C-alpha cells in the first residue's frame, strides 16, 4: 500500500479529487440501499426493481454523449463542482416520497440525479490524467477502484443498518451531505498535466457532431475501441445480477427475516472483492499493457464462475463466496480497462472516448437489468434459473473477450498501444 499512500502525499490535487470521490461514493451506497428498501416496501414487483436501476442507467446512456463533449470543451473541475451541488439538492427531494402513488416522482428524481452523474463521470475520468503523470495512471486508477469498492462495502453495510434502524430518510440526507463535501474538496483541484495540442487546431463542430468525431477516432484506433467496450461486456452480466440479488436476499436468503441485512452484506462483499481484487492482480501481474490485458481476461473468467455459483448455490455461504468471486472479476475488468484506455487516448479526445465507454456500459447494464425483471415477472423463472441463464451469457461474453485479447496482445507486442506524452501546464 506504500505506493498508493505515496501518490496521495505527492499529488495534492489528486488527493483532493480522491477525497471528494471517497465521500461522494459513501453517500451513493447509502442511497442505493435506501432506494431498494423504499421500492420493496411500497411495491412487490421485480419490474419495479428493474425500473429503479433503469432510472439510474438510462439517463447516463442518453446524456453521456453530450457529457463527453462538455468534458473536452469546458473546464472539467467546474463540471464536477456544479454537478455535485445539483445532485445534493436533487437527493433531498427523495424525502418527499411517502406512498406508492408518488413512485413516479421517485423515478423522476432518480433519473435527474443520474443525468447529473452522466455529466460528472466522463469529466472525473478525463481529469485523472490531468492531475497525475502518465506512469502513475495505473496506480491512480487502482486506488480509485479500491476507494469505490471500499465505500461500497462500508456504505452498503452502514446504509443497510441505517435504513433498517433509522429509516430511509436518514440515508438520503447523508447522501445529499456527501455531495456538498465532495464539491468543497473538488473545487480546490487544479489540472497540472495536459497533452500538448496538435499543431493544427481541431475544428469545434458542437454537440452531437463532436461526439461523432470521437467515434471516428475510435474507428481508426480499433484496439482502443475494444478496450472501451470491455466494461459494457461485463455490465451486461452484472446488470442482471444486480436485479436478481434483491429477490435472492428478500425471498430466499433473508438473515433474521431481513432481506436488507442480506443485501447489505452482499454489497459489502462486492466492495471488498472489487477493491482488493485489482490490487492483488496488479501485484501479481504488474503494470505492463500485456499484463493488464491478462488481468482483464482473468476478470471475465471470475465473473462467469461467480454467476454460475450464485445460480447453483444451496446455501447462503455459497452465495457469499460466489458474489466475492464475481466482484473480483468485475473490479479487474473495470480498473484495468480504464487504466489502459485513459493512458492511451489523446487528451483532446479523452472526454468523448470515455463518454462512449459510459454510454455503452450503461446500455448494456440496462439490457441486463430489463432481463432480470422480465425473467422474474413475465417468464416466471425462479431467481436461480434466471441466474443460470446469466452465467451462460457470461460464458459467451468471456469467449468473445478472449478472441479480442489474442489480437490485442499481438498488437501490444508490435507497440500499437502507446501512452501520449503530456507536458506541465
For residue 196, is it within any domain?
A: no
pLDDT value at residue 385: 86
CA distances from 322 to 186, 302, 311, 378 (A): 36, 9, 9, 27
For residue 233, is it within any domain?
A: yes
Is residue 26 within 8 Å of residue 155, measured between CB atoms?
A: yes
pLDDT value at residue 416: 60
Q: Each residue of 139-154: pLDDT tens digit?
A: 887 787 777 767 766 7
Q: Each residue of 154-201: pLDDT tens digit?
A: 776 676 677 667 777 887 888 888 889 999 998 888 876 554 444 334
Instruction: Out of 68-72, 112-116, 267-271, pick the least confident.
Output: 68-72
For residue 240, is it within any domain?
A: yes
Domain containing residue 72: 9-187+206-415
The C-alpha cell 452498503 sits at: 156
pLDDT for 424 beyond 50: no
* Rounded average pLDDT over 107-124: 85
Is residue 31 within 8 Å of residue 91, measured between CB atoms?
A: yes
* Number of domains present in the structure of the chain: 1
CATH value at residue 268: 1.20.1250.20
pLDDT value at residue 203: 43
**β-sheet bridge partners, residue 424:** 193
More confident residue, 414 or 77: 77
Instruction: Out of 39-43, 108-112, 209-213, pick the least confident.
Output: 209-213
pLDDT value at residue 86: 93
For residue 198, is it within any domain?
A: no
Cell triple for 166: 433509522
Q: Percent of the chain beyond pLDDT 90? A: 13
pLDDT for 209 beyond 60: no
CA distances from 153 to 19, 33, 139, 143, 167 (A): 17, 12, 21, 15, 19
**β-sheet bridge partners, residue 255:** 258
pLDDT value at residue 425: 38
**β-sheet bridge partners, residue 193:** 424
For residue 390, is it within any domain?
A: yes
For residue 420, is it within any domain?
A: no
For residue 330, is it within any domain?
A: yes
pLDDT for 354 beyond 90: no
Is residue 160 within 8 Å of residue 36, measured between CB atoms?
A: no
How many degrees, rounded to 5, is the angle at CA 147 between CA 119 and CA 365?
50
pLDDT value at residue 204: 45
For residue 200, is it within any domain?
A: no
Instruction: Out of 120-124, 197-201, 263-267, 271-275, pick the least confident.
Output: 197-201
Helices and strands in the chain, H and E counts? 15, 2
pLDDT value at residue 210: 60
More confident residue, 104 or 300: 300
* pLDDT confidence bin for 137, thresholds 50/70/90: confident
pLDDT for 242 beyond 90: no
pTM score of the predicted model = 0.69
Nearest of 16, 22, 114 to residue 64 by alpha carbon: 114
pLDDT for 246 beyond 70: yes
Amino acid at each position: 500500500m506504500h505506493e498508493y499512500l505515496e501518490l496521495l502525499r505527492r499529488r495534492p490535487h489528486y488527493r483532493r479529487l480522491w477525497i471528494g470521490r471517497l465521500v461522494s461514493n459513501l453517500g451513493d451506497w447509502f442511497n442505493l440501499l435506501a432506494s431498494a428498501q423504499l421500492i420493496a416496501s411500497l411495491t412487490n414487483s421485480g419490474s419495479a426493481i428493474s425500473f429503479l436501476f433503469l432510472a439510474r442507467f438510462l439517463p447516463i446512456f442518453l446524456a453521456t454523449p453530450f457529457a463527453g463533449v462538455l468534458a473536452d470543451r469546458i473546464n472539467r473541475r467546474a463540471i464536477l463542482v456544479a454537478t455535485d451541488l445539483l445532485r445534493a439538492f436533487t437527493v433531498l427531494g427523495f424525502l418527499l416520497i411517502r406512498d406508492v402513488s408518488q413512485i413516479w416522482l421517485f423515478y423522476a428524481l432518480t433519473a435527474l440525479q443520474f443525468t447529473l452523474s452522466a455529466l460528472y463521470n466522463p469529466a472525473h475520468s478525463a481529469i485523472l490524467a490531468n492531475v497525475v503523470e502518465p506512469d502513475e495512471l495505473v496506480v491512480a486508477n487502482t486506488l480509485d477502484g479500491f476507494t469505490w469498492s471500499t465505500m461500497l462495502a462500508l456504505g452498503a453495510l452502514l446504509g443497510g443498518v441505517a435504513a433498517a434502524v433509522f429509516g430511509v430518510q436518514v440515508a438520503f440526507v447523508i447522501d445529499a451531505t456527501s455531495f456538498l463535501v465532495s464539491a468543497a474538496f473538488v473545487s480546490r483541484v487544479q489540472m497540472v498535466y495536459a497533452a500538448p495540442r496538435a499543431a493544427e487546431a481541431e475544428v469545434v463542430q458542437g454537440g452531437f457532431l463532436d461526439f461523432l468525431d470521437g467515434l471516428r477516432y475510435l474507428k481508426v484506433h480499433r484496439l482502443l475501441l475494444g478496450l472501451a467496450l470491455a466494461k459494457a461486456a461485463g455490465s451486461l452480466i452484472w446488470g442482471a445480477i444486480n436485479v436478481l440479488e434483491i429477490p435472492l436476499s428478500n425471498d430466499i436468503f433473508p438473515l433474521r427475516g431481513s432481506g436488507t441485512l442480506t443485501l447489505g452484506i452482499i454489497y459489502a462483499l462486492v466492495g471488498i472483492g472489487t477493491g482488493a481484487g485489482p490490487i492483488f492482480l496488479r501485484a501479481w501481474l504488474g503494470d505492463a499493457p500485456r499484463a493488464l490485458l491478462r488481468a482483464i481476461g482473468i476478470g471475465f473468467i471470475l465473473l462467469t464462475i461467480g454467476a454460475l455459483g450464485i445460480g447453483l448455490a444451496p446455501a447462503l455461504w455459497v452465495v457469499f463466496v460466489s458474489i466475492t468471486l464475481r466482484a473480483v472479476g468485475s473490479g479487474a475488468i473495470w480498473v484495468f480497462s480504464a487504466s489502459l484506455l485513459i493512458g492511451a487516448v489523446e487528451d483532446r479526445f479523452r472526454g468523448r472516448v470515455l463518454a462512449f465507454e459510459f454510454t455503452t456500459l450503461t446500455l448494456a447494464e440496462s439490457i441486463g437489468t430489463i432481463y432480470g425483471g422480465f425473467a422474474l415477472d413475465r417468464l416466471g423463472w425462479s431467481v436461480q434459473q434466471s441466474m443460470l441463464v446469466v452465467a451462460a451469457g457470461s460464458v459467451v461474453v468471456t469467449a468473445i473477450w478472449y478472441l479480442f485479447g489474442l489480437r490485442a496482445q499481438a498488437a501490444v507486442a508490435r507497440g500499437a498501444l502507446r501512452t501520449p506524452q503530456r507536458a506541465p501546464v
